[in-house]
Structure 1
Amino acid sequence: MSIDQLPEIALAMVARGKGIIAIDESNATIKKRFDSVGVECTEENRRAYREMLLTTPGLGDYISGAILFDETLRQKTKDGKPFTQLMMENGILPGIKVDKGTVPLAGFPGEVVTEGLDGLRDRLKEYAALGAKFAKWRAVINIGEDMPSKTCIDANMHALARYAALCQEAGIVPMVEPEIIMDGDHDIDTCYDVTEATLRELFQQLFEQNVLIEGVILKASMVLSGKDCEEQADVEEVAAQTVHCLKATVPANLPGIVFLSGGQSDELATEHLNEMNTFENNPWPLSFSYGRAMQSAALKIWAKDIVNNVAEAQKTVYARAKDNGLAAMGEWK
């Protein structure tokens, strides 16, 4: 795919009333999820679980794409059809997580930087051949005493921009995810300031690396009070602060923004998204790219009987996709 086709894919990812499902947990992370519901973390169980999610009837009504893990991108349904083929037939774009996770940022205790740039050009070439249309890279910004440092923000945003440039070179739409972590007792104003500084640096770096903004999707965290903050901002304030921050930092020619749930409850993530979409004059579509908030209820049902509870679990996946699809239009009740 040439760079000229990237804006078309990016716009399809944020089509009206549709969002992205994130099923890109690493094997270590999915093991934790499976352990919590008493399912053994074998390759076959991981494959069966992801097949359950991806074969949900009508999923393409509200889901435009799915972020996969390396293993999943290569897997097939039990009938032998590659997941990527199944997805494309149902109007769902295959995406791939390409970062290698975070490591401590040397010299800055408590801060991390994301690795994975080494060898990324070749990996992207292979992923494009396997059918990936977009990719995702997550940077992690912690809030705490004297955190984040400018060094941490700069290092992570520079890596995100280099990753984005390599994706576009390979004909893949980069999803850039600078996640501001909810942990801590900071108030919503602190979160606003950190989010603003992070996004300003991100778009400056993307510009400096000659990344085509029309071929990028931003996966953003909402502006929230810290998890341990005594005064939690209400839904209206979260929506207003988030949209205000985005309007102050994000170019209007970006095709769209999808939010991560970032540890919010399923319903709260939907409520916040819905509220933001009741505002007039948002320059870009605001949608969702939820992982846990799309899967947690379904995982519990599926885990009780992984052979016979597939249809029952899929009903919850569809219901969550529908709720969030409606919220992406400001029509969720």
Structure 2
Amino acid sequence: MTAYKLGKIAQSLVHAGKGILAADESSPTIKKRFDRINVPSSEENRRSYREMLFTTQGLEEFVSGVILFDETLRQIAQDGTPFPKVLTNKGIIPGIKVDKGAKALAGFHSEKVTEGLDGLRDRLIEYRELGAQFAKWRAVITIGEGIPTRACIDANAHALARYAALCQEAELVPIVEPEVLMDGKHDIERCEDVTTLTLRRVFAELHEQNVILEAMLLKPNMVISGKTCPRQASVDEVAEATVRCMRRTVPASVPGLVFLSGGQSPEQATENLNRMNVIGQHPWELSFSYGRALQEPAIAAWQGKASNAALVQKALYHRAKCNGAARYGNYTKEME
């Protein structure tokens, strides 16, 4: 596949009014979500829940792609249709999470590096054959006393770049996700400084690894106050700081930014994205790639009961519609 065709897929993922549903929770993560509603995290329960999400009528109006977990990419709907085909039949592009998770960075207390490069080339080929058209790799950067270190940022930036190069070799669009975590008491200014440094290193590594920027997407955190910071930044402050940071670090050749929600409430994530799009024209599309911020109301409505399927789909459709409006800067609280 040519770089041009990969670029067209990347552009399709950030189509006007649309964003990405992140349904790629690892087994431990989705177990935590299910535990909150007292539902066993069995393979069938995971399959059933995700089928409800993927078959939501009209979801394709606001969702361009779905990131799947390895297990989910291989599962089938009740009618025997593989999940990737369920999505493509709706005009939604299937994707796949390919990293193996953030593990302790040897020699550096409280810092992590994402693993999964070993054997990745072969896994990407298999994922492509199973129907995936894009992939995602997440790195985590923690803010704290004396951290992040330059070594941690460099290690994660290098891994992200190697992953992205392997994706493009395998004819998959890479989503590059360097997440500066909200956890901590840092203020918005500290978040902006760390996010700026991180993104500069990431794009330097992407350049070194010959990654084609027109054929990738960036999944950044918003520039936001730490969860336990005494003063929480306003919507205007978050939008202005985030846009300023992105303008200073992200080349215009990248087709789009698909923001992660990072622990924000569903309404907060929508409102912040909306405000960024209200600000004005940007060199790239400003979109979303939300997991919990799209699914939280849906999983609460489910409660593990098949009879609640309509409520699950109604909740997901509503949040997708709100974020679709935020892509144009047209979201209002009255929509809730």
- 4+ residue stretches of structure 1 with deviation over 2 A? 1-4
Specify every segment of 5 or more residues in structure 2 that has no aligned partner in the other structure, as ranges. none
8 Å CA contact 1:3–1:169 kept in 2: the answer is no
Tell me, in whole angstroms, the C-alpha distance in 2 between the residues paired with 1:108 and 1:44.
Answer: 39
Measured after TM superposition, the shift of residue 306 of structure 1 is 1.9
The equivalent residue for 1:179 is 179
Tell me, in whole angstroms, the C-alpha distance in 1 between the residues paired with 2:163 and 2:96.
Answer: 13
Measured after TM superposition, the shift of residue 90 of structure 1 is 0.6
Measured after TM superposition, the shift of residue 289 of structure 1 is 0.4
Where in structure 2 are the equivalents of 1:63-142 lying within 5 Å? 63-142=63-142
The equivalent residue for 2:11 is 11
The equivalent residue for 1:215 is 215
Measured after TM superposition, the shift of residue 312 of structure 1 is 1.3
The RMSD of aligned alpha carbons is 0.7
Tell me, in whole angstroms, the C-alpha distance in 1 between the residues paired with 2:120 and 2:46.
Answer: 25
Tell me, in whole angstroms, the C-alpha distance in 2 between the residues paired with 1:280 and 1:274.
Answer: 11
Measured after TM superposition, the shift of residue 281 of structure 1 is 2.4
Q: Which moved more, 1:309-318 or 1:2-11?
A: 2-11
Measured after TM superposition, the shift of residue 3 of structure 1 is 3.1
Q: What amino acid sits opposite 2:155 in the alignment?
A: A
The alignment partner of 1:288 has SS state of strand
8 Å CA contact 1:243–1:276 kept in 2: the answer is yes
The equivalent residue for 1:239 is 239
- Counting matched residue pairs gives 332
Q: What amino acid sits opposite 1:80 in the alignment?
A: G
Q: What amino acid sits opposite 2:285 in the alignment?
A: P
Tell me, in whole angstroms, the C-alpha distance in 1 between the residues paired with 2:195 and 2:59.
Answer: 32
Tell me, in whole angstroms, the C-alpha distance in 1 between the residues paired with 2:180 and 2:163.
Answer: 19
Q: Deviations over 1:202-244 (max 9, x none)?
A: 1110000000000010001000011111111100000000000
Tell me, in whole angstroms, the C-alpha distance in 2 between the residues paired with 1:56 and 1:252.
Answer: 34
TM norm structure 1: 0.99
Tell me, in whole angstroms, the C-alpha distance in 2 between the residues paired with 1:136 and 1:145.
Answer: 29
Q: Deviations over 1:153-202 (max 9, x none)?
A: 00000000000000000000000000000111111010000000000001
The alignment partner of 1:251 has SS state of coil
Tell me, in whole angstroms, the C-alpha distance in 1 between the residues paired with 2:253 and 2:306.
Answer: 46
The equivalent residue for 1:323 is 322
The equivalent residue for 2:283 is 283
Q: Which moved more, 1:45-54 or 1:294-303?
A: 294-303
Q: Deviations over 1:34-80 (max 9, x none)?
A: 11101111111100000000000000000000000000001111010
Tell me, in whole angstroms, the C-alpha distance in 2 between the residues paired with 1:266 and 1:55.
Answer: 21
Tell me, in whole angstroms, the C-alpha distance in 1 between the residues paired with 2:40 and 2:89.
Answer: 30
The equivalent residue for 1:310 is 309
Tell me, in whole angstroms, the C-alpha distance in 1 between the residues paired with 2:181 and 2:32.
Answer: 20
Q: What amino acid sits opposite 1:298 in the alignment?
A: A
The alignment partner of 2:65 has SS state of strand
TM norm structure 2: 0.98
